[in-house]
Amino acid sequence: MAINSVRLPTLNAKAVARFPLLPWLLVGSASLAVALGLVVRRYPPSFWLDQPAAVANSGFCAGMVTDKLPHPMSSVPKPAMGVPFVDPAFGTRVIRITDVQAETGFVGGRVPMYSTVPAWNADESYLIVFQTHAYSQSGLRSRHLLYDGKTYQFIRELDIGPADVEHVYWDSKDPDVLYYPFTYEASGRPIRQLVKYHVGSGQREVLENFACPGTLDFGHPKYMAWDGSRIGMRCRGRYPAAETFVFDLLASRESPRINSPRDIGIQVAPSGKLGMFGSSVIDLSSMTPVRTLKTNPWEHGTLVPTAGGQDAFVSVQFDGNYIGTLMLENLQTGGVREIIGKKTGWRSYPPVTTHISTTAFQARGWVAVSIEGEHAGRNVLDQELVIANVDTGEVCRAAHHHSRSTSGPRGYWAEPHVVISPTGTRLMFGSDWGGGTTVDTYIVELPGYTKGRSRATAK
């Protein structure tokens, strides 16, 4: 066959940069074609040709990238607030919903509360963003801010005083209700309350007053029972001493308290039947340990229900027998499964600064993961947001977050802290966008998202 009768493939920029004379070789003589064959034999087809992204054509991930190939992060200027753009690598729609400096005149951040707690309410008509000076000492006041969950318009500052930033739990079913622990002093007398807050009216309902010498809070929060029945509480004394217990919201009853010498609080699993207390799995009916976790409970992780109705701890794991970016341990059986890791075809070792969100109450099994890794975003999973199904193992890559987090001037506050919406169709994340002096909140609208009724006004 003559060389000029061959239909040649399109070369990518990487190949041409490495071999600038290659286009001339392709149109040369047969002898040069033989030489070219030797070169091609050394380098695989994936080096020469632009590889189209594998895209799911059906199911929850329809239209999203599902392969395990590098999709390097592009250098994208920080987008303007309210102007949607398409992520260059993954094709999803991303919207910046805050501009803290323009809106307040201060350097700081407007960011998600944390990955383990819901940002949206049950019907996604409201969302909460936390405002902070973010180590800048600019004077910006810390506040929980209420936004329209559909239009992303600011509504008002919430008149709440939780024990900590992320100690605010939206009810998983009632879109008007959230819960928070409240600690204050009245005439020298400690007041420690669990408060039910009605967002529409601004009404506070005290569910219980607790005897607690120190701060009352939710511990290291992993949310509450998904049916709204139980919530984990921590009563802090002189550090590191503490007591922890479970409050039954339906019966208005406190469980027996457990001493917590390591200052940790019990976390109620989605079923409301089990809990996590450090490395122990607790039967909440008797408040006794039933087994010890195999995975490290101190790594970033949270709790999720499985398709079979059991509870699981999902986390990133860096050491020991179980290593992966997303690992699942069944609380009932102790079975451990790798979802994103070496055995499932991903990276052999997890990138740093990984957080997991499981608050897709209406899309059970789907979780979101934010990963920092290397700031250039060249490698698989670096600077990425992904969603995964803990039952099927399906993984879909959503967007790059462009945040330098702890390496930037805003440190911890610039960690993306992804939060998945109740329907699993949107992701919230924070970003300093390449190490900037401010941190803002962004929303990824996945292909399955459809905008419904919004909250035009709220009292």
What's the confidence (pLDDT) of residue 15? 47
- Characterize the bridge pairing of strands 288-292 and 280-283: antiparallel
pLDDT tens-digit map of 315-339: 999 999 999 999 999 999 999 999 9
H and E: helices and strands count for the chain:
5, 30
The pLDDT assigned to 453 comes to 57
How much is the pLDDT for 34? Answer: 42
Weakly modelled stretches of the chain, pLDDT under 50: 1-11, 13-50, 456-459
What is the number of other CB atoms lying within 10 angstroms of the CB of residue 378? 13
Chain centroid offset of residue 259 CA: 31
Tokens of 297: 């409970």
Q: Which two tokens stand for residue 300?
A: 């970033």
Q: Note whether 76 and 86 are within 8 A (CB).
A: no
Residue 124: left (phi > 0), alpha (psi -120 to 50), or beta? left
Q: Rounded CA gap, 6 and 27, in Å?
A: 10
What CA–CA distance (Å, rounded) separates 324 from 458?
43
**Distance from first CA to last CA of the chain, Å, rounded?**
78
The pair of three-digit structure tokens given for residue 255, joined into one six-digit string: 């469980």
- Asked if 224 and 284 touch (Cβ cutoff 8 Å), the reply is no
Alpha helices in 307-357 (DSSP H): none
Cα–Cα distance, 190 to 192 (Å, whole number):
6
What DSSP character marks residue 346?
S
> In 3D, which of 411, 222, 395 has the Cα closest to residue 324?
395
Residues 139, 107: Cα–Cα separation, whole Å = 9
DSSP element (H, E) containing 42: helix 30-42
**Sequence-ordered list of residues with C-beta below 8 angstroms from that of 298, at least 6 positions apart, any chain:** none
Q: CA nearest 95: which of 377, 409, 429, 408? A: 429
Amino acid at 203: Q
Q: DSSP string spanning 222-269?
A: ----TTS-EEEEEEE-STT-EEEEEEETTTTEEPPPEE-TT----EE-
Q: Where are the domains of the chain?
A: 7-47, 52-445
For the domain spanning 52-445, the CATH number is: 2.130.10.10
Q: What is the pTM of this model?
A: 0.87
DSSP helix/strand/coil, 8: coil
Q: Which two tokens stand for residue 250?
A: 């339906």
Helix (H) or strand (E) holding 110: strand 109-111
Q: What pLDDT does residue 162 have?
A: 96
